[in-house]
Amino acid sequence: MAKRTPIRTAALTALILGTALAPQHAGVAADAHRVPVIQVAASEATSRFIPLGIGKSVAIDLPRDIKDVLVADPKIANAVIRSSRRVYMIGVKVGQTNIFFFDAEGKQIAGFDIAVTRDLNGLRAALKQLMPDSDIRIEGVGENAVMLTGTAANPTESQQAFDMASRLVGDSAKVVNGLTVRGRDQVMLKVTVAEVQRDVVKQLGIDLSGSLNYGSAVVNFNTDNPFSATGQALSNTSFAGSVNGVSATLRAMERAGVIRTLAEPNLTAISGETATFVAGGEFPIPSGLSCDTTKSPPICQPQIDFKKFGVSLVFTPIVLSEGRISLKVMTEVSDLSQQNAITVAIPGSTQPLTVPSIQTRRADTVVEIPSGGSLAMAGMIQEQTKQSINGIPGLMQVPILGTLFKSRDYLNHQSELMVLVTPYVVRAVAQKQLSKPDDGFADPTDPSTAFLGRLNRIYGVAGKPEPRPVNAYRGKYGFILD
């Protein structure tokens, strides 16, 4: 028994040591195959954005003691530590960088994304002082650009803020205007275009034809004096007579005409937008020929283009402030005229094509007037006189008798154009407050038309005037005034 005890003791000792050492060797083998973990100590994802001006600084208190500081680009911004928990960050140059702070254990205390831009505090104070009713914010973007955000009270203040920011950076292309206008005013433009033209044409000419015999010599003569001022005779009316084989044809014509043009277009547009009005038509003019060469002879057809004429109005209003309107107006009055008309011969057609000309009066200007004020934008008086005398040299200078050998053409053209412009700052109204030209119109009955000659029915009680409001307009009103 004494000999078995050491053997059992040694076996038990070996079993205990093996059990204790087995887990240790297994852990070493597992650590040999484990992948090391990489952690991001500091990044922009956990950074705070701080804008700084050049030469400006900001003081920041940190929650723990600072052990290490990392400045990505010291040429743009710098960090100065005065105590273990207070740091001063200073903007040096326009650009962007970041700054990180670490404690004694190497853990990140804070991170800041620094954007150094121009010093905009002076511009912010100026915008606040000049535009107290607007909420305009300005921030730097990139190296030299700025961005305007917020709301402006009217388009004028929005444009003024944009101009001030453009002056600061030196280039309007580097200013991003993100301002929103609270309320955009609407402007109604009332335009009156009035023109009167007066034409006086006088034509007098005598044409002679016949034969003169001097012995055996025979002289035949025939005169046809043109009217060069007008370009053609106004009428084919003539008086002819014959004396001793000499025929005389008298062509005389006098014409006087008056043309009156009146247009009153009314347009409404939002401040800053453009409105267009056209009242007229289009007339065809030939632009070329289209020929079918498969046939003999070729058959040609004229190609037609259309040109516009009439009264046109284009205006762009900008409400500067309460009651002040900057107005860009372009108005044009054009009509057809036989003066300077051309005649085009069409192949395959016996009738020539006459293309009229266009007389155009145009005014284009930019003005600033108050709401409700009128401006005579264009008052033009034009007078044109043409006179020509055609005849046989020598004979036409003979007093009295020289009238038989010449023709006189006289043309006098006078025109006066007046354009009145009146802008109003308007607001929307209900439909029931508006009237139309056909309100109350109805076709009459057949007996009323046949026996009474009425073209429309009559409404209302005769002799009873309509009630007039207290502040009613007392001038003439309506759509067509005679």
pLDDT at 334: 84
pLDDT at 36: 67
Q: What is the pLDDT of residues 337-368, one digit of tens each?
A: 777 777 777 666 667 777 778 888 788 888 88
What is the C-alpha to C-alpha distance for residues 51 and 310, in angstroms, rounded to an integer?
A: 59
Find the DSSP H helices in 316-379: none
> In this structure, are strands 86-91 and 57-61 parallel, antiparallel, or unpaired?
antiparallel
pLDDT at 335: 79
What is the C-alpha to C-alpha distance for residues 338 and 358, in angstroms, rounded to an integer?
A: 8
What is the C-alpha to C-alpha distance for residues 261 and 255, in angstroms, rounded to an integer?
A: 20
pLDDT at 478: 53
Task: Note if the pTM is more than 0.85.
Answer: no
What is the C-alpha to C-alpha distance for residues 325 and 158, in angstroms, rounded to an integer?
A: 15
pLDDT at 471: 53
**Segments in the chain below pLDDT 70:** 1-37, 142-143, 183-184, 215, 231-232, 234-245, 321-323, 346-350, 378-379, 458-482
Neighbours of 427 (CB within 10 A): 7
pLDDT at 10: 43
What is the C-alpha to C-alpha distance for residues 328 and 347, in angstroms, rounded to an integer?
A: 48
